[in-house]
Chain A
Amino acid sequence: MRFLRTSSAALVVASAWLSGCGDRPDHWDKTVELPVKQLGLTGSVAVVDPSLDRVLMLGVASGQNLVSTPLGVGKNIVTAVASPDRGTLFVLSRGVQPRRNPEDERPSLTVIDGGLEPKRLARYSLTDPLQGLAIDPEGEWAVVFDAGGIVVNPNELILVNLKDAKAEPLSKTIRSFGGRPERLTFTSELAVPNGAPRRLLIVETGQDVTLVDLSAPTSDEVTIPLPKTPTGQPGKPAQVDFHDGDPDDPTDARIAIRLANDPNVMLAELGTPPSNEDKPFRVTLNVADVGGVPSDIAFVQTDGGLRLAALVPSGYRATLVDPSTTVTETVAFERPYSRLTRVTDSVTNKPIQSDVALLWSNSAVGVAFWSLGKTSGTPFRSVDPYDIGISVARVTNVPGDKYAHLKILESASAPEFYILDLDKRQSFPMLTNASGFTLDVSPDGERAWALRPGTPDFASITLSDLHPTSLTVERDVSAVHELARRDGGRAVLAIHAVYRDGHGALGATVLDALAPDTAKSRFYPGLMFGGLR
């Protein structure tokens, strides 16, 4: 009896001891936190998996066959951003912080090809853990900023030359008068009086604006202070715009700065530097009062020349500022339009000299076309309002050239959206069964996808004939992404995100994008297990 007891006890002890042997890889213990960030790219959908320091690139090979390609990125993902053309993904990682050992990973920026064959294109090692990432629309630069380490230099920028995978990132600390970078804008090429045309990086901080010459990032930057508001508070930039001016004049490139809560707009001209200075330009400032706090600004071409248009919804008007003289002209509107989009390049019959702009507002019903030609000595032609019955919260462009003349107008609250034909000046309502739809346009510009997140319902709208196809899948959808298929077709992924028992899970329904049919769809569960063994 005693023996049995002893033997049993021995067995238990042995088992307990043995059970401590060996561990499975810890990736199985990493739960999925919602929301899971997904980015639709041209040939794949990137699903960011911060727990495992990787990105899952979901592609479709043929039919509805989903292929998952996991790509490791740096430890501790901070943010992931797609390039504007949706062909590339940029993932910023903090690395191991704080670093205790030489082998602890440094911060890094990983560049991933978002096409049909996703792969890592480059990985740039950085020196400091930063949190912000701005991507150049022209694909030349990525700028990392917004420090988040223990001891921070908030004005440090790290410029990564995306054209050279081997180039070392360049660290640059911009002049600071107490602000820190909040928003970065890359200009197109601007002619300067002294030197070749170049691109600038406009850095908006909390109280000034800095210009960094991207052709010579190590050279001194230009810091532009902002005027105090009428109430005496430090000025804060709210928006910038830029224009190269007359193509034949290298001295009239300008940058406009809209100030928060301030009726003034600033114009910075890149003029001729003094002869004893070897600088490409010298900034000359001008301030114009547009008669009310503007909500949006844009350089526009009128028959009277270049103007800065500033929308002042409180006054039901726009103010056109001559950048040379700061003389203003006012254009009255029937409605308090607050946003302006230049659509000149989107219309088929482009005006020769002057711009056409689309006016809209989240708080006013309808849109308007504003033709900035000249008649009777006034630099504007006409404002044609269109009552479409909804207030517009967002205007989505259609990529590509085929349907560039179409714009999708979304409302924040109405259960409908509009497709606006700029050429025919016609608007087509698309009614939905409930509000809360989001819209996205396929990268090839042929279709739009409307989704009510959190429901299994979504729809495809073919832009050629505006034919909608309603679809209902078997699980609630959080996002819809259309992508190219490796066999040449196109597929759409409806992503299902579920949160249960303190963890998240991701699945997808794959359909054919060109002829979507839920009877031929395929459901893929457990996407976040992809690539794990």
Chain B
Amino acid sequence: MTPHTALRPALALLLVSAAAAAQPEPEGQQPPAVDSAGDDAPVAPPPAAEPAPAAAAATPVFGFDATAYPPAAVSDRGAEPKPPREKPPVPRWQVFAGMRGAFVDDGGYNLFSERDFAGQGSLWGARTVYHSGDVSIAGALAFDASAHDSTIRGERTSLALYRLTLGPEVRLHFAPELYVYARPSAGVLRSVATLDESTTGSSLHSNGWLVAIDAFAGVAADVLDLSGERGELRFWVAAEGGYGWTSATDLRFLPDEDDASAPNRVAALDLGSLAQRGPGFRLAIGASF
């Protein structure tokens, strides 16, 4: 499988997200006011955490707790300019899309790739569930998917991997725009391996469910803040690295039971086992809201 192939889903996701983010705002949907000083002007630090006034909760926009943010005064012509909207200290919801790369030195994987590198499209989302000071914790759900194909001694092989992990993301915010995080997670990996074997004239399959455990740490940076009155919309870039581990599954290829073209009583073709273990990284672009 070529690197480009592995990256296709990730790139697509990324581009779609980027395209969506780059769409001009439809009329009437003004982004929240931003610092008139421009994008480069330093952003006023968020006010110190104070107990939010027990004001009537404004209608949440973009899901944020509007009580943390004083409602923008209705401005009319000639009214005094509104004060700049303060960036929330921690993102509430985040969605990232990007690619995951893993260095998989596994014999089983060699059947499906000429390289020890597995690229996957990665999509994860997080919801901050706790915030205290500079630390926040979010629950993150990640989904990685990839498809690989190759040939072994001329016979075509293909492997589809689907990983779903869930875990907490512990963040340390240096600024509303920057935080580092660690995210241990666990989940499952579904492998679907196929071998087009010539003597049977059929496709032989070997599928498995694997336990997947990831331990990643990274950094995320707010690179574009388009938050406005209607709510927060910030764009992030995240990079993380870590280690992914899965259990192993035997690669025992057999034809489908309903494959009438395959010979009867085909012995399983044992080609070892498959496990996705090894260091990895993610690069993603996300948005928070």
Q: A and B touching (C-beta < 8 Å)?
A: yes
Let me know if B233 is at the binding interface, CB within 8 A: no
Question: Smallest distance from the beta carbon of B253 to chain A beta carbons, Å?
Answer: 8
Given contacts A11-B283, A15-B119, A32-B153, contact A506 B199 (CB under 8 A): yes
The reply on A19 being an interface residue by CB < 8 A is yes
Q: Is the CB of A21 within 8 A of B11?
A: no
Contact of B14 with A525 in the complex, beta carbons under 8 Å: no
* Interface residue? B99 (CB, 8 A): yes
In the complex the two chains form, what is the Cα distance from A13 to B32 in whole Å?
34
When chains A and B are docked, how far (Å) is the Cα of A32 from the Cα of B152?
10
Cα-based distance from A425 to B4 in the complex (angstroms): 75
> Which residues B146-198 have CB closer than 8 A to chain A?
150-155, 195, 197-198
Interface flag for A523 (CB, 8 Å): yes
Beta-carbon contact of B224 and A505 below 8 Å: no
Task: Indicate if the CB atoms of B153 and A30 lie closer than 8 Å.
Answer: yes
Within 8 Å by CB of B153, from A496, A523, A529, lies A529
Interface contact A31-B154, CB-CB below 8 Å: yes
Contact of A23 among B21, B116, B155 (CB under 8 A): B116
Distance between Cα atoms of A37 and B18 in the complex (Å): 58
Q: Say yes or no: A14-B283 contact (C-beta < 8 A), given A22-B105, A525-B204, A526-B155.
A: yes
Whether B153 and A31, one on each chain, are in contact in the complex, defined by CB atoms closer than 8 angstroms, is yes
Spot the interface stretch: A1-9, A204-212, A304-312, A355-363. A1-9
Question: Interface extent on A, as a size class?
Answer: 35 or more
Asked whether any CB of chain B lies closer than 8 Å to the CB of A528, the reply is yes
Report how far A505 CA is from B198 CA in the complex, Å: 6
Write out the residue numbers on chain B whose beta carbons fall within 8 Å of the beta carbon of A21.
Answer: 103, 115-117
Across the interface, name the chain A residue whose C-beta is closest to B195: A526
A166 at the interface (CB under 8 A from B): no
Question: Does A274 touch B at the CB level, under 8 Å?
Answer: no
Q: A11-B14, A28-B152 are in contact. Are A523 and B200 (CB under 8 A)?
A: yes
Provide the main secondary structure of the chain A interface.
mixed
- Tell me how far the C-beta of A284 lies from the nearest C-beta in chain B, rounded to whole angstroms: 59
Tell me whether A507 is interfacial, beta carbon within 8 Å.
yes
Determine which of B14, B98, B151, B263 lies in contact with A474 in the assembled complex, contact meaning CB atoms within 8 Å: B263
State the Cβ distance, B20 to closest chain A Cβ, in Å: 10
> Is A4 a contact of B285 with CB atoms below 8 Å?
yes
Is the beta-carbon distance between B117 and A19 smaller than 8 angstroms? yes
Which residues from B are CB-within-8-Å of A522? Answer: 265-267
* Cβ of A25 under 8 Å from chain B: yes
Rounded to whole angstroms, the CA-CA distance of A528 and B223 in the bound complex is 54
A60 CB to nearest B CB, Å? 12
Find A505's partner among B3, B197, B263 (CB 8 Å cutoff). Answer: B197
C-alpha spacing A16/B152, complex, angstroms: 23
Please indicate the chain A residues that have their CB under 8 angstroms from the CB of B10 in the complex.
11
Within 8 A of B (CB), among A15-64: 15-16, 18-25, 27-32, 51
Instruction: State whether the Cβ of B46 lies closer than 8 Å to any Cβ in chain A.
Output: no
A434 partner residues in chain B, CB cutoff 8 A: none
| A475-512 contacts to B (CB < 8 Å) | 475, 496, 498, 500-507, 509
Which B residues are CB-close (under 8 A) to A505?
153-155, 197-199
- Output the least CB separation between A92 and chain B (Å): 24
Choice from B2, B107, B199 contacting A533 with Cβ under 8 Å: B107
Q: Tell me which of A15, A507, A529 contacts B101 (CB under 8 A).
A: A15
The answer to whether A24 and B266 have CB atoms under 8 Å apart is no
Asked if B266 and A4 make an inter-chain contact with CB atoms under 8 angstroms apart, the answer reads: no
| Residue on A nearest B152 in the bound complex, by CB | A28
Q: Let me know if A501 and B154 touch, CB within 8 A.
A: yes
Interface: A524 (CB within 8 A): yes
* Distance between Cα atoms of A504 and B263 in the complex (Å): 19
Instruction: Give complex CA distance A293, B236 in Å.
Output: 94
Contacts of A533 in B (CB 8 A): 107, 271-272
**Which chain B residues lie closer than 8 Å to A20 at the CB level?**
115
Q: Is A12 an interface residue (CB 8 A)?
A: yes
- Check B3 against A529 for contact (C-beta < 8 Å): no
In the assembly, what is the distance between CA of A7 and CA of B7, in Å? 14
- Which residue of chain A lies nearest to B202 when distances are taken between CB atoms in the complex? A525
Cβ-defined contact, B267 with A66, below 8 A: yes
Q: Give a binary string over B13-40; 1 marks a CB under 8 Å from any A CB, 0 the rest.
A: 0110010011000000000000000000
Q: Are B200 and A19 in contact (CB under 8 A)?
A: no
Given the known A-B contacts A11-B283, A28-B111, are A22 and B267 also in contact in the complex, defined by CB atoms under 8 Å? no
Tell me the minimal C-beta distance from A83 to chain B in angstroms.
29
In the docked arrangement, what's the CA distance between A402 and B174, Å? 92
Question: For window 207-258 of chain B, which residues contact chain A by CB distance below 8 Å?
Answer: 223-224, 235, 237, 253
Q: A21-B116, A498-B199, A505-B198 are in contact. Are A15 and B21 (CB under 8 A)?
A: no
Asked whether A150 is an interface residue with its Cβ less than 8 Å from the other chain, the reply is no
Give min CB distance, B219 to chain A, whole Å: 14
Looking at the complex, which one of B101, B201, B264 makes contact with A18 (CB distance below 8 Å)?
A: B101
Q: Is B128 an interface residue (CB 8 A)?
A: no
Which residues on A sit within 8 Å (CB–CB) of B126? none
CB distance from B1 to the nearest CB of A (A): 9
Known interface pairs A4-B18, A24-B110; A507-B11 also in contact (CB < 8 Å): no
Report the minimal beta-carbon distance from B245 to chain A, rounded to whole angstroms. Answer: 18
Smallest beta-carbon distance A49→chain B, Å: 10
Q: Which residues of A contact B2 (CB under 8 A)?
A: 19
Judge if A532 is at the interface, Cβ distance under 8 Å. yes
- CB-based contact A12/B11 at 8 Å: yes
Separation of A504 and B271 alpha carbons in the complex (Å) = 18
A507 touches B154 (CB 8 A): no
Bound: A29/B157 CA distance, A: 12
The 5 tightest CB contacts between A and B, nearest first, are: A503-B154, A22-B116, A19-B3, A507-B199, A24-B110
Please name 12 pairs of A and B residues whose Cβ atoms are closer than 8 Å in the assembled complex, sorted by A: A3-B224, A8-B14, A11-B14, A11-B283, A16-B3, A21-B116, A28-B152, A505-B154, A521-B265, A525-B266, A526-B204, A533-B107
A sample of 17 more A-B contacts (CB under 8 A), given A8-B15, A505-B199, A525-B267, is A1-B22, A7-B285, A11-B7, A21-B116, A24-B109, A24-B116, A29-B151, A31-B154, A474-B264, A504-B154, A509-B263, A522-B266, A524-B266, A528-B153, A529-B152, A529-B153, A529-B269
**A interface vs B, CB < 8 Å?**
1, 3-5, 7-8, 10-12, 14-16, 18-25, 27-32, 51, 66, 473-475, 496, 498, 500-507, 509, 521-529, 532-533
Q: Which B residues are closer than 8 A to A by beta carbons?
A: 2-4, 6-7, 10-11, 14-15, 18, 21-22, 98-99, 101, 103, 105, 107, 109-111, 113-117, 119, 150-155, 195, 197-201, 204, 223-224, 235, 237, 253, 263-267, 269, 271-272, 283, 285
